[in-house]
Amino acid sequence: MARVFQATHVGKVRYNNEDSLIVIEPETFVVADGMGGAQAGEVASQMLVETVKDFLSQSPPPYDEKILSQAILLANSKILNLARQNANYHGMGTTATILSLDDKKACFAHVGDSRIYQLRNNFLTQLTQDHSYVETLVRRGEITPEEARVHPMKNVLTQAVGAVENIFVDTANFPIESGDTFLLCTDGLTNMVDDDSIKNILQSAPNPADALIDAALNAGGRDNISVIVVGVD
Ligand code: CA
């Protein structure tokens, strides 16, 4: 069993919320951060979460990383097709980050710059790697992670779901322990709130999802913010 908190907020600057999130039984969690003109970003992220939900409902749990990856690839074709049929949707895309828990293990599938963090024994670890231009620069040692957070090109993704035919889904599986806490979030949180503050909130807030949203809003709330916090009993 797990304790789950979720929240999403449009932020203080944007007029619409292009993030989508969903909790799917049993113990599967999805965040998606849409991009594209007009309402296209909302359409893409919504299509992602609905496609994942429908696809998983046709398979018996527990879900492994392979099936999570297949769900993302299916959403990729669906979003691409819709974008080709409708000029308003041309160029839309979305991030896709899915975490699924079983009794003893977890797995994830991931594309884009939304993130999964794990808090265990006072250590906060980012489990996913951002598919972003600035992450490439960090890996090359050209900029620091702190510089990446405020870099003018921090929003440029190296891949997104629904944007191109071929995408590469990152996957992993790993054992979980009682007391682990997982956070799924969009970059509206991580561009506004640093890892130390995220860790403090996860360790102390009665409702960590609402507290993380408040922290991002207090820091300026320049983007949509979405979070799912999962505490393993
Ligand atoms: Ca965003």
174: pLDDT confidence band, cut at 50, 70 and 90?
very high
**Distance from Cα 60 to the centre of ligand 1, integer Å:** 32
**Distance from Cα 31 to the centre of ligand 1, integer Å:** 11
pLDDT value at residue 38 = 73
**Distance from Cα 33 to the centre of ligand 1, integer Å:** 5
- Kindly tell me if the per-residue pLDDT of 116 is higher than 80: yes
Other Cβ atoms closer than 10 A to 141: 7
pLDDT value at residue 212 = 98
**Distance from Cα 15 to the centre of ligand 1, integer Å:** 13
191: pLDDT confidence band, cut at 50, 70 and 90?
very high
**Distance from Cα 186 to the centre of ligand 1, integer Å:** 6
**Distance from Cα 59 to the centre of ligand 1, integer Å:** 30
pLDDT value at residue 36 = 86
Per the prediction, the chain carries an average pLDDT of: 96
Domain count, the chain: 1
Please report which helix (H) or strand (E) contains residue 172, including its range: strand 170-175
**Distance from Cα 76 to the centre of ligand 1, integer Å:** 18
Residue range 57-66, pLDDT digits in tens: 999 999 999 9
pLDDT value at residue 184 = 98
pLDDT value at residue 2 = 83
- pLDDT > 90: percent of the chain: 92
Please report which helix (H) or strand (E) contains residue 6, including its range: strand 2-9
pLDDT value at residue 52 = 98
- pLDDT > 70: percent of the chain: 100
**Distance from Cα 216 to the centre of ligand 1, integer Å:** 12
pLDDT value at residue 146 = 86
- Kindly tell me if the per-residue pLDDT of 214 is higher than 80: yes
Query: What are the CB-based long-range contacts (under 8 Å, 24+) for 65-68?
Result: 65/107, 65/108, 65/109, 65/171, 65/172, 65/173, 66/171, 68/28, 68/98, 68/100, 68/107, 68/108, 68/109, 68/171
pLDDT value at residue 121 = 93
pLDDT value at residue 39 = 83
- Contacts for 206 with CB less than 8 Å, ≥ 6 apart: none
Residue range 137-158, pLDDT digits in tens: 999 999 998 899 889 998 899 9
**Distance from Cα 163 to the centre of ligand 1, integer Å:** 16
> What CATH number does the domain containing 52 carry?
3.60.40.10
pLDDT value at residue 192 = 94
**Distance from Cα 223 to the centre of ligand 1, integer Å:** 6
**Distance from Cα 61 to the centre of ligand 1, integer Å:** 30
35: pLDDT confidence band, cut at 50, 70 and 90?
very high
**Distance from Cα 193 to the centre of ligand 1, integer Å:** 13
Burial class (CB in 10 A: 0-12, 13-18, 19+), 65: buried
**Distance from Cα 185 to the centre of ligand 1, integer Å:** 10
Sign of CA dihedral 151, 227, 22, 9: negative
Range of the domain at 30: 2-232
Question: What average pLDDT does this structure show over 92-100?
Answer: 97
Question: What average pLDDT does this structure show over 128-138?
Answer: 96
**Distance from Cα 41 to the centre of ligand 1, integer Å:** 10
**Distance from Cα 177 to the centre of ligand 1, integer Å:** 30
Question: What average pLDDT does this structure show over 79-85?
Answer: 95
**Distance from Cα 195 to the centre of ligand 1, integer Å:** 17
- Kindly tell me if the per-residue pLDDT of 231 is higher than 80: yes
